[in-house]
Chain A
Amino acid sequence: GAVVSQHPSWVICKSGTSVKIECRSLDFQATTMFWYRQFPKQSLMLMATSNEGSKATYEQGVEKDKFLINHASLTLSTLTVTSAHPEDSSFYICSALRDRGLEQYFGPGTRLTVT
């Protein structure tokens, strides 16, 4: 159990367009979901924390108007990269916390390439 999926796994988009990434907890309800960004051979950088039914809490330096996060239900959170630019190209990972538990369950990640 405790599976988290992300869709799509890889997306290529043109500069100036928006792209949405979905994060779903498949077999549990996630009270809290986290979104991370990771560059090659680097650590995970937390972008924001989302709680179901409330606004996301963004980390310092993350543009909330550019990275829109919606936690619409206890099993789905979405990250929308608006007006994407090549510098937004990265690997985006979500994770989910079950019932305010101890362990975070990670999705497989989404590779975003902006051309």
Chain B
Amino acid sequence: AQTVTQSQPEMSVQEAETVTLSCTYDTSESDYYLFWYKQPPSRQMILVIRQEAYKQQNATENRFSVNFQKAAKSFSLKISDSQLGDAAMYFCAYRTRGWAGGTSYGKLTFGQGTILTVHP
């Protein structure tokens, strides 16, 4: 079974600064997907960024980028120019590529989460 570990329960950053959230995972698979989700105080889960394991290039979405190190099984999220609206709980998640007929298709395994505080 796959496991996802976020070793930073809480992080803080000054507005406009950069912060990096860590995530490691354990899997025996070679093809999979990794995600970062944001859960603000409203508790609505929001997809931040996605990485496909077979792609070597790190994914980027505006101020959000990842450092995907497949051999090290590491998937960190960098938030640049932090804004007050970035304050949330962030979850790293793993999804096996799987096959459409399988019972585990689409299942996400989440890390423990990191609470990010942004100071004005």
**Hey, which bits of chain A sit against chain B, CB under 8 A?**
32, 34, 38, 41-44, 46, 49, 57, 91, 93, 95, 97, 100, 102-104, 106, 108-109
Cross-chain contact A102 with B50 (CB below 8 angstroms): yes
- Specify which chain A residues have a CB less than 8 angstroms from the CB of B43 in the assembled complex: 38, 91, 93, 108-109
Cross-chain contact A43 with B110 (CB below 8 angstroms): yes
**CB-CB contacts below 8 Å: B67-120 with A:** 89, 91, 100, 103-108, 110-113, 115
Determine the residue in chain B with the shortest Cβ distance to A106: B45
Cross-chain contact B91 with A44 (CB below 8 angstroms): yes
Cross-chain contact B108 with A104 (CB below 8 angstroms): yes
- Specify which chain B residues have a CB less than 8 angstroms from the CB of A91 in the assembled complex: 43
CA distance A93 to B106 in the complex (A): 16
CA distance A91 to B45 in the complex (A): 13
14 CB < 8 A contacts A-B: A34-B107, A43-B111, A44-B45, A46-B108, A49-B103, A49-B104, A97-B105, A100-B100, A102-B50, A104-B106, A106-B44, A108-B42, A108-B43, A109-B43
